Structure formats: C-alpha cells, structure tokens
Structure 1
Amino acid sequence: MKYWKKLSHTEQDARITAALKQNVDYRNNVSLGIPASVLDSTVFYEQAPFLKDAPLLRAYIQNPNHIGCHTLGESETFFKGTQDIEREVIELLSTDVLHAPAGSCDGYIAAGGTEANIQAAWIYRNYFIRDHGARPEEVALLGSADTHYSIAKSGNLLSLDMYLTPVDEHTRQILPEALDNILAEAKSAGVKYMIVISNMGTTMFGSIDQPGLYVQYLQAHGLEFRLHIDGAFGGFIYPISNPQSGIDFSNEHVSSVTLDAHKMLQAPYGTGIFLVRKGLMEYVYTKEAKYVNGMDITLSGSRSGTNAIAVWMILVTYGPFGWLEKINKLLYRTDWCCRQLDSLGVTYYRHPKMNIITIKAAHMPQAIAHKYGLVPDSHHAPQWYKIVVMDHVELDYLEAFIKDLTAGSGKNG
C-alpha cells in the first residue's frame, strides 16, 4: 500500500487539528466576502468540553465548504487544510484500492452514489458532444436490468435514452445474445456513442457485471464508449475480497468509478465518492462560476468538507489489514447463513465474494421478512427479498432468523 496506513487516534487528531488551523479563522481573521461562517454557536455550542477529544465534531462546527474539485489545481484557499485531507482520500482510494497509477485520477466526495453516477454520465455526454461532434440523440446509456435507478435519473436529467440488457435469472449475469441484440437495436435507432454503467455489486443482488463483455460487443458493433463502474455498494468490499478482479483502474477501459462510503464504510450520509481518470472532469467545467476559485466542476456545488474527514478517519482507523479482517468477518457470516439456507432447500442468489443474500419470495414468508427487516425488490409484488450482512448483523441474529424460517417452512432444524 502506497498511501493507506493505520493511524492512532492521537495521530488523527493532530492531522485534523493542523488542517483546521490552515482553514479560514472566522473569529480572528475577518473575512468579509464569504457567504458562510462556523455553525451558529447559539445552537451548536462550540465550547463543550467533549469536543477536545472529538476532532470530527470540531470540524463540523468549523463548517468547511469543499466546493469544487481539489485534485485539479486551484481551489478556494479558505479551506485549503481540509481540502488536503480530501485529496488524500481520493489518491488513497484510486491508487491503493482501485489500482490506478499514482496521481492519475481526479475525484471528490459527493452527496451519494446517485450523484456520482450522474456526474459520470454528465461528463461522458459532454465528452462525446465536444470531442466527437455527437448530436445528443446519438448518445445513450447502457446497463443491465439490475442497474441502479440512478441511471434512469441520469437519462431523465440529461435527455439520454437508456438501454438495459436482460440478465440470467439464476446467475444475474448479462446475457451475451441479449446484449448483442440491444446494441443492434440501439444502432438502428441512430445511437453511435454509449455511456456504459457496469455494476460492482448491484443493489438488490450484490452481483458483479463483467465489463469485458460490454467491451467485446461494443467493439464488435463499432460503437464508441466510455465505461463507468458503479461500485456504490461493492466498492469497499469487492476490491478487497477479490483484488485481482481487474474491475478497477488497472483495466484500460475503465474511465471512472463510483464508491459510497455511507454503505460498507459506515460513514455519515453524504459520503458518496466519484473517481475519474485525469483529463475528463474538465468536460463539466461550469464557466459561469467565475467567482469560485478553480470554477465549480461538480454536481454538488457547495458541500461539507467534514464528510471527507469522516471517510479519511475510517480508512486510517482500520488501515488496510484491519479492513481486510472486517470484510472477512462479514463474508464468514454470509457463508454461514448460506449453508443454513442450503440445508433448508431455500432458493437464493449470492455472489461468493459479496455479503448480500437475495432469497426467492416463494421461500420467504412475509411475516418473517417483516420481522427481520428484509428488503423486497418491489413493495407491490415482491419476487425477491435481500439480506445484507452489515457489521450489526451478527451470527446470533442470523441464527434466530434461520430458526424462524425453519419453523415457517415446516422443517426441523
């Protein structure tokens, strides 16, 4: 690991304190032009004694604004200290987790995976229009039937047609013949450029797309494309559980990746992450934002710098080996639950390197699904229910679930 190191609480506190000191000091250095300040001290008491041991809460009170993308060059100097921490996060994740060459990626902490996916589509639509002379109707989105609904949002917002390829009912893998037919259909409709969303851990199944399949068929059809990996769920587990997968920046066809720290990393909400190869973020420069140093280049605009600190703290608290141990613990629990389901003859889908188990609704009494908070694929006519083995899902809870499921199925444990 080049950047990912484990740090003690004392080391983290010192780093964050130093960063905050580099930011604007509203109390002692008057700044008349910023439409911002610390959090309102009438409501958020900044002299509380516990804050001395809580660097993240001190950062929330100082309220840094990380508008812009800080890996590109110039940024607002008022918050340069905490911007440096965000840069560290982007470099750590792109290089040590996703195998990019050092210094080869840009990125920022987004509101969530949805925003990061839309950011990718926005960039590539503009790229095809500006560099290839594409007409908007010649650019389309391509994904699988299990693709997250944020891609539908992208299509709606950017006026892009969306083509979704069917997947195998049992393996959740894209059907090659169906993909071939979909691309032929798109070409006949005048599409020449594809923005591909390849899944690294689908929301409902945790299934993993094979980006090479997209590449093979897109090249066979002579379609230009950009490939984005949606790792909003799988991005903090699959590169750890299967580090040689090639579904990362070691693959020359991968242009960008979405991660989502508020899922597996258990960061606060508002910690999506967008990572992209150098030279692409510039396609969404907002030139009208002239009063922003470096110009705004993100969908978010103003965003809390404290969220970047939260992601950084989690990563350096665990370090790479601590995180590996955590992932292996979750996979062990998932394996255990799958063995119990096998003994009951329950039909389910589970990718062996992921921590989601998705059970056929025919094998899941609704009362048990409701009791244990299983999530359906549709609230109107569910076909599947999923279990996500997060940190709080201990073996004791899984055992209780299996006992109830055994009783409900009429089988003896």
Structure 2
Amino acid sequence: MKIEMKYWKKLTPEERLARVQQALKDNVDFSKDASLGYPASKLDEKVFTNESLFLREMPVLSTYIANPNHIGCHTFGTSEFAFKGTQAIEREVLSMIAVDLFKIEDGQYDGYISPGGTEANVQAIWIYRNEYLKKHGAKLDEIVILASEDTHYSIPKAANLLMLDWEKIAVDPVTRELTSDAVRQGLLSSLSKGKKYFIIVSNMGTTMFGSVDNPIVYTDVLKEYQVPFRLHIDGAYGGFVYPFGDFENQINFTNPDVSSITIDAHKMLQAPYGTGIFVCRKGLIENVLTSEAKYVEGMDLTLCGSRSGANAVAVWVILTTYGPHKWYEKISVIKMRTNWLCKQLDQLGVSYFREPEMNIVTIRSECVPIEIAHKYNLVPQSHDESNQWLKIVLMDHVEIEHLKDFIHDLVSSKSLSPN
C-alpha cells in the first residue's frame, strides 16, 4: 500500500496536548466567559471536576468536561462561533479521512462526526431522497434503495424512517459476492413496481461477514438501463481496515460515481461509542438544510443536531497518535492473526467465510458446539434456532493465545486433529 498523506500525521504527546488545549482556549469557557445565550454549559462540576493535573493533561477527557457542542456541519457555511476551536479539529479529522484515506480533492467535500454509522447511513439516504424530491420532482414511491441482503440493519431502518422501499439484492451464499445477474434482477423488479430513482448502498465490510461489495457491479447495470442513481459506500466497519492492504483500493472518491462514504471510529479505531464519520461530495448535503433552525449559526444539516465535540477530538487524538504508517502496521498484525486462525480452521476442515483483506471470520454454526460459542462470546447471525453462522472479529484485544485456546477447545470437543 502506498501511504502518501497530506493531513494525517503522527504527532508527539506534547504536540497533541498543546493542539487540543489551544482549541479549548479558542472555544467559549463557561467557567470564565459571560455566555448568557447558550442552553449549554460545561459538565456539572459537582460530578465532573477538571481540577486534577491528571485530567488537564488528558486532552480527550478535558474536552468532554468542557462539553463543546458541534451542532451543524463545519465544512459548509458558518458555524457556532463559541466552539470554533474544536470545530477546527473536526475539520482536520475530516481532511484526514476524506482527502488522505478516501482520495477526494481538497475542498471538494462536506461531512461531520456523527453519533455513529447508523446515523451516517441514514444521513446519506436522506440527502439523496431529498435531492430526488426537490430537484427531479420525484414522488416518494418512485425512489428505491438497492442494497444486498448482507447490508447492515441501518438501511431498512432508513427505509422505514424515510418512507422508501428497499430492494434486497441476493448474494452468492458461498462467496457473499454480488453478481450482475442479481443486481439486474433487483433493478428489473424495482422498475416493474414503478421505481425511477435509485439509491445504492454498497458495503465495505458487512457486519456479519466482513464481505466487500464491488460497487461497479451495481453501477454498470444501472448505467446499462440509463436510470438515475446515487452511490453510497457503507464502510462503517471496514473503513479503517480494508484500505490498509497490499493492493490498490478502488473503493473511494477516485471513482466518480461514489457520492458519499460512512466510516465508524468506535469500531477498529476504538474511539468512544457514538462516533461515526460521514463524508460526501460538495453540492449534496444542502439537500437536508433545516432552514427553520435560524437560531443556530449556519443552521443545521445533520440528522442529530447537537453533538459532542469531544468525539471529534477523540478521533483526532487517535489518528495523530498512530499516524498512517503505524496504523498500517497495526492492521497488518491483526490480519496476520486472522490468517493464523483461518489456517487452523482449514487444517481442521471447518467451514467458514473470510474476506481476504478483512479481519472477520464467520464460521458455520454446526462446526462449533454451543457451549464453546458461549464461552468465547461468538456472535450469531440470528439469535434463534434458525441461526447458521457464528462470527469471530479479530479486534485489537484478540491475541493468538485466545485463538489457540479456542482451537484447542474446538479440537477437544470434536476429537479433531490438524491434517
């Protein structure tokens, strides 16, 4: 993998602390400033104190206590002046993600740190639904979401919230791949129901299998039928894993059909929960501008409205602690552990699925006794008797020793031995 980054750099602890402290100084200080108009304050000092030297030297915790509100979208127009310091840090994070990781040109994107990947996916579909309604004169029942059967549940949730239909595209049961025939079948089915406008959600790492869709399979078929579409990449799980491989990743903004990307920081990046990232091309996010939010400087273009600036600072601190090279090394180690596990399962003849550049191994449920599945907290595809799959996610805390214990128990339970 070529690692050429413009914004994503590794910084020393002193540099990180100084940057965040300066950002907090640039924000309103509710302890000292005469700020009478905001329905906000720092966290209650009777419960959350920031007097200890320890906390003052912890940039993320200091930001939580300062409690900046990042309402709105800080890449578009103006924003609340009171929190300009930490808003600048959020913009720096978005530059690292949009420009360095996903290869968009400087200044050609909008986005924000969302409360998770679910909202970021809903945000994308909301934007494109409104674009079709406002600019194309579409009717609600003429707009449809195309996404695979392995797609995250946030997509049917978005369909329900936004009153859209979801055309579920079948995948190959062995390879979990999309095929042109399956996409064509889904498209023709949608057309037969009167659908005219299409929102594609293509996966970069599905939740259960870690499988990665080739978005070109979607777009080639829709171009063949000359129908309007928008393409969103759901990289909520895979966004911090899949691009860090020894291959040239094409699932990014170098593909002109990609309009937006979701990525979660609270999965592989180990940021606090409630930390998603949404980025899209310029000219799109204004489709969801809430003009009624006139008391908010710049108004609002996000689903959530008020959100914690501390989450943006957390992502910034994590990214600048590692830098791109150390992050690549970390993901490489995790992939090596995943390779080791797959080799053991191969020797035992255990049936499983694994996307080669991902760190999820999904095993056929009949291959793992239920007591072992419970002991190691394997996650089922379905929490009922119909379940067919159990997954292992090779997160940072999952080491070879844990995997050895799992393999040992699996061998003992089945009286198996490696070939």
User: Given that residues 24 and 79 in structure 1 are in contact (C-alpha distance below 8 angstroms), is that contact kept between their aligned partners in structure 2?
Assistant: yes
Mean Cα deviation higher: 240-249 or 289-298 = 240-249
Whether 1:279 aligns to 2:286 is no
Whether 1:14 aligns to 2:53 is no
Aligned to 1:110: 114
Whether 1:390 aligns to 2:395 is yes
Give TM-score scaled by structure 1 length. 0.99
Separation in 2, partners of 1:182, 1:197 = 13
Q: Given the alignment, which residue of 295, 301, 315 partners 1:297?
A: 301
Separation in 2, partners of 1:85, 1:355 = 30
Whether 1:288 aligns to 2:282 is no
Mean Cα deviation higher: 241-250 or 200-209 = 241-250
Aligned to 1:377: 381
Residue by residue over 1:242-301, the C-alpha shift from the partner in whole angstroms, topping out at 9 and shown as x without a partner, is 552210111100000000000000000111000100110100000100000000110010
CA shift for structure 1 position 181 = 1.3
- Partner SS state of residue 244, structure 2: helix
Gaps of 5+ in 2: none
CA RMSD of aligned residues (A): 0.9
Residue by residue over 1:77-102, the C-alpha shift from the partner in whole angstroms, topping out at 9 and shown as x without a partner, is 00000000000001110011011111
Residue by residue over 1:70-128, the C-alpha shift from the partner in whole angstroms, topping out at 9 and shown as x without a partner, is 01120000000000000000111001101111121111000100000000000000011
Separation in 2, partners of 1:324, 1:154 = 33
- Partner SS state of residue 276, structure 1: strand
User: Given that residues 179 and 217 in structure 2 are in contact (C-alpha distance below 8 angstroms), is that contact kept between their aligned partners in structure 1?
Assistant: no
Equivalences for 1:27-176 in 2 at 5 Å? 27-176=31-180
Separation in 1, partners of 2:258, 2:34 = 45
Residue by residue over 1:161-219, the C-alpha shift from the partner in whole angstroms, topping out at 9 and shown as x without a partner, is 00011111110001322221111110011101111000000000000000000001111
CA shift for structure 1 position 52 = 2.5
- State the one-letter code of the partner of 1:155: A
Aligned to 2:408: 403
User: Given that residues 7 and 316 in structure 1 are in contact (C-alpha distance below 8 angstroms), is that contact kept between their aligned partners in structure 2?
Assistant: yes
User: Given that residues 125 and 158 in structure 2 are in contact (C-alpha distance below 8 angstroms), is that contact kept between their aligned partners in structure 1?
Assistant: yes
Aligned to 1:231: 235
Separation in 2, partners of 1:27, 1:351 = 51
CA shift for structure 1 position 379 = 0.6
- Partner SS state of residue 45, structure 1: coil
Give TM-score scaled by structure 2 length. 0.97
Separation in 2, partners of 1:242, 1:19 = 37
- Partner SS state of residue 302, structure 2: coil
Moved over 3 A (4+): none
Equivalences for 1:180-219 in 2 at 5 Å? 180-219=184-223
- State the one-letter code of the partner of 2:72: G
Aligned to 2:335: 331
Separation in 2, partners of 1:221, 1:329 = 44
Identity fraction in percent? 56
CA shift for structure 1 position 354 = 0.3
Residue by residue over 1:371-407, the C-alpha shift from the partner in whole angstroms, topping out at 9 and shown as x without a partner, is 0010000010210000000000000000000011111
Mean Cα deviation higher: 284-293 or 168-177 = 168-177
- State the one-letter code of the partner of 2:326: G
Separation in 2, partners of 1:134, 1:111 = 30
Separation in 2, partners of 1:222, 1:366 = 49
Gaps of 5+ in 1: none
User: Given that residues 94 and 275 in structure 1 are in contact (C-alpha distance below 8 angstroms), is that contact kept between their aligned partners in structure 2?
Assistant: yes
Mean Cα deviation higher: 18-27 or 332-341 = 18-27
CA shift for structure 1 position 133 = 1.2
Mean Cα deviation higher: 40-49 or 189-198 = 40-49
User: Given that residues 108 and 282 in structure 2 are in contact (C-alpha distance below 8 angstroms), is that contact kept between their aligned partners in structure 1?
Assistant: yes
| 1:232–1:243 Cα change, 3 Å | farther
Residue by residue over 1:227-249, the C-alpha shift from the partner in whole angstroms, topping out at 9 and shown as x without a partner, is 00000000001111255221011
| 1:121–1:254 Cα change, 3 Å | same
